[in-house]
Structure 1
Amino acid sequence: MTANDSFGRLDDDDYPAYTMGRAAAMLGTTQGFLRAIGEARLITPLRSDGGHRRYSRYQLRIAARARELVDQGTPIEAACRIVILEDQLEEAQRINAEHHQRSDPAT
């Protein structure tokens, strides 16, 4: 892999660029919170060769949404379920919009 290939990953939302400590600091939360949402299966961090958790920007956005809900008083398990349902709804709406675009000859 060349240096240019490595730098290209910086734009990849799914690239696991952040350690647990850095991710927690960016979110203003604890490492325990990240472990808890992992245990609730909201996000599954990748593991480095040494077994350390690594998070992507996409995972951090998901974690930030869960943190918002928890900060508002929602139990962590419920917050994780809400975020999962929101994500599924967004995906279904995107697929539906694509379907309508393909089936409408006027567009």
Structure 2
Amino acid sequence: FLRAIGEARLITPLRSPGGHRRYSRYQLRIAARARELVGHGTPIEAACRIVTLEDQLEEAQRINAEYRRTGTSAHPTAAAQDS
């Protein structure tokens, strides 16, 4: 399964000096989510796309939360133009 999602370019493992694939904990968490979706009948290509979009959404939400905490606008020049 890890090779299949690697071919779908969801994750790209590092290689050891001996050529063995090495996966980070983050990559394994992503792979587990994709496996869960495939286990529920989602085609692997669709599962990879869903996981990618979920990851992008999570990152965007994290960035938005940080902007709210600091009071920083995502586009300071746009905020300046509105004034």
Q: What's the TM-score once normalised by structure 2's chain length?
A: 0.83
CA apart distance, 1:86: 0.1
Distance 2:40 2:7 in 1: 21
SS in 1 for 2:41: coil
Matched, 1:94 2:57: no
Structure 1 residue ranges, 4+ long, deviating more than 2 angstroms after superposition: none
Could you say which residue in structure 2 is the equivalent of 1:6?
none
Could you say which residue in structure 2 is the equivalent of 1:17?
none
For residues 9-37 of structure 1, the C-alpha deviation after alignment (integer angstroms, 9 at most, x for no partner) is xxxxxxxxxxxxxxxxxxxxxxxx11010
Q: What's the TM-score once normalised by structure 1's chain length?
A: 0.65
Distance 2:67 2:24 in 1: 29
Unaligned runs of 5+ in 2: 73-83
Unaligned runs of 5+ in 1: 1-32
CA apart distance, 1:48: 0.5
CA apart distance, 1:52: 1.1
- Taking only aligned residues, the RMSD between alpha carbons, in angstroms, comes to 1.1
For residues 29-71 of structure 1, the C-alpha deviation after alignment (integer angstroms, 9 at most, x for no partner) is xxxx110100111111000011111111111110000000000
Percent identical across equivalent pairs? 86
Larger relative contact order (CA 8 Å, sep ≥ 6): 1
**Paired amino acid for 1:66:** A
Report how many residues are paired. 72
**Paired amino acid for 2:33:** R
SS in 1 for 2:22: strand
